[in-house]
Chains A and B, each alone.
Chain A
Amino acid sequence: MIDEGRAAMESWHLPDEELRRYGERTLAPPVLWSVEAHLTACAHCRHRLAAGQPAVLRDGWERLDAELDAPVPGAVERLLTRAGVAGHTARLLAATPVLRLSWLAAVVSTLALTAVLAAVLHPVVFLAAAPLLPVCGVALSFGPRADPTYEIAVVAPMHTFRLLLLRCVAVLSATTALSAVASLAVPDIGLAALGWFLPALTLTLLSLALTARLGPVLAAACVGLGWIAVVVSTRGAGATGSTVFVPAGQLASAVAAVLAAVVLARIHRAFESPRRFR
């Protein structure tokens, strides 16, 4: 049956025009499929293609060579591409220092410890600690001290700010997912156990806005200390232990997040030409 098909294929040959367009990769389906099926079966037309367009043949081998030589992506990259992230974005994210297993293990340990302390002492321990994790993660994801390729990234045409945002989203996603799971261990405060989410977003945006002027580490330190001061100064006797985690406090946090985002949008060009590399 196959031999009959092959014989039928070889009884006619592709027109020169179709062969040329196939070589130039300008043919569209269904003609493309038909031509490919014929080339698979017809040695004569394959030889015509190779002889007529040697550059096309060479390019094809080079493409094949590059594909075969390309290394298999690592675990983080594979996970990201399976989640629908584009291949090149996945590779950029795979270089994020805090997506390494050691950092994720540290986040899990911290969340487990604070969840235990929340159960033994007060839920505010967990609610106050969880927003600091993405702030630390962002500080350790970008900048001359954290990113070994920072200087190369700064002079690359891809906007530095875009790279920073990509890494922030990755850090926020990872810490949010882990914190959400840890929230299940916080006892009996209902939905208030998710009161860390908006402050986490706000503190991350605030630290980003300050990064352009202070650098990532000092910005994160300032925001972290400021956050602790706010939680301590608004402490109360309620179930969450601070007015930051009641609806009014959450609203204030959301407003602060919007303001920080506006500032960030206005100053984003400052990330393109930093003043320091150490």
Chain B
Amino acid sequence: MTVAAATSVVHASGLTLRYGRTAALTDVSFTLYDGVTGLLGPNGAGKTTLLRIVATALPPDQGTLSVLGNDPRTPAGRLAVRRRLGYLPQDPGFHPGFTAFEFVDYVAILKELTDRRARHQEVSRVLDAVGLSGQRGRRIRALSGGMRQRVALAAALAGDPDLLVLDEPTVGLDPEQRLRFREVIAELGEGRSVLLSTHQTEEVMALCQRVVVLDGGTVRFEGTPADLAAHARGRVWTSGARVAGALASWRAGDGRYRNVGDPPAGAELLEPTVEDGYLMLVDTPAREETGR
């Protein structure tokens, strides 16, 4: 056994899943460690499918998976994972007649917290953790989108899970709500593992210690955000006009154009960002990649 496998929280190897004739994931392998890991990719990249597999909601067609040291393919392994998991789906549904407290209480019961007194203490704790203590008695249908998202996060936190799987947790939130949500997630990442999907590179920069880029159902990159940015080193330059042959070319705040791609000789190179590295990956066909 390698050292990485011994200390990893999630270890996936060769995961493949098809929906009919469509391949959602093809030979996906990655390792997740403590801290916050971002799963970055465009819409339709297979992020939600991968998170559902990690969260034991879906079984893969092929491949091996270890989550918190358990094999989710076996009933006992699946149950062991579910007892230590917090999951926020992309589109968390609510029973509209429930209050915030009742909804989190309902999910806590599903998590086997059956003792009323202990469960109510836990519900109060997680609502407090997401800053919703004052809203616990309000009906969910009366809450804003950001508050609902925080209710869903509180439900995921019930039972103090070791692994949090969050599917696009900040989608649909306004900038202020997104900022508050990021603060909460960053705090949660201290002392446990968080896997969150996003298609926003600034989220990765703000939150994640590691990043996995998924595109077209395959892993295109796995490493630190700095490594992802370095992927575009020597491929980002500035110019006075739009460059037609570049992968991406846009006018920056200083009025000059920022270009990503193959720079011309003598171009004024810039320090790459995570977004530049990501653009290089997802806009470049896999066959041209040399890294992996």
Contact = CB atoms under 8 A, between A and B. Distances in A.
Contacts, number: 105
B110 A163 contact: yes
Nearest to B78: A272
B114 A157 contact: no
Interface stretch (B119-127, B204-212, B257-265): B119-127
B292 interface: no
B57 A70 contact: no
A149 B137 contact: no
Contact of B112 (A155, A158, A269, A273): A158
B101 A63 contact: no
A15 interface: no
Given A69-B101, A70-B101, A153 B110 contact: yes
A66 B117 contact: yes
B124 A272 contact: no
A157 B120 contact: no
Contacts of A151: 52, 57, 87, 89, 92-93
B179 interface: no
Most A CB contacts (10 A, CB to CB) among B85, B101, B120 go to B120
Contacts of B97: 74, 100
Contact of B102 (A62, A71, A147): A71
B92 to A, nearest CB: 7
Interface stretch (A85-93, A125-133, A185-193): A85-93
Interface residues of B, number: 42
A148 B94 contact: yes
Contacts of A274: 57-58
Contact of A95 (B52, B82, B106, B120): B106
A157 B79 contact: yes
B98 interface: yes
A277 B94 contact: no
Nearest to B122: A66
Most A CB contacts (10 A, CB to CB) among B55, B89, B112 go to B89
B117 A152 contact: no
Interface string B68-110: 0000000100110011010101001111111101100111011
A173 B36 CA distance: 47
B164 interface: no
Nearest to B105: A91
A147 B96 CA distance: 11
B213 interface: no
Given A66-B120, A273-B57, A273-B58, A148 B93 contact: yes
A121 interface: no
B137 A66 contact: no
B63 interface: no
Interface string A58-99: 000011011101110010000000000011100110010000
A181 B250 CA distance: 72
Nearest to A144: B93
Nearest to A59: B121
B107 A272 contact: no
B178 interface: no
Contact of A91 (B57, B59, B89, B109): B109
A155 B87 contact: yes
B117 A71 contact: no
A158 B56 contact: no
B59 A273 contact: yes
Contacts of B233: none
B117 A63 contact: yes
A237 interface: no
B136 interface: yes
B287 interface: no
Contacts of A158: 109-112
Contacts of B154: none
Given A67-B117, A95-B106, A155 B56 contact: yes
Given A65-B124, A156-B82, A273-B57, A88 B87 contact: no
Given A149-B92, A273-B56, 20 more contacts: A62-B121, A62-B124, A66-B117, A66-B121, A66-B124, A67-B117, A71-B102, A88-B114, A88-B119, A92-B110, A95-B106, A100-B97, A148-B95, A149-B94, A152-B87, A158-B110, A269-B75, A273-B78, A275-B58, A277-B57
Interface of B: 52, 55-59, 75, 78-79, 82-83, 85, 87, 89, 92-99, 101-102, 105-107, 109-112, 114, 116-117, 119-121, 123-124, 136-137, 155
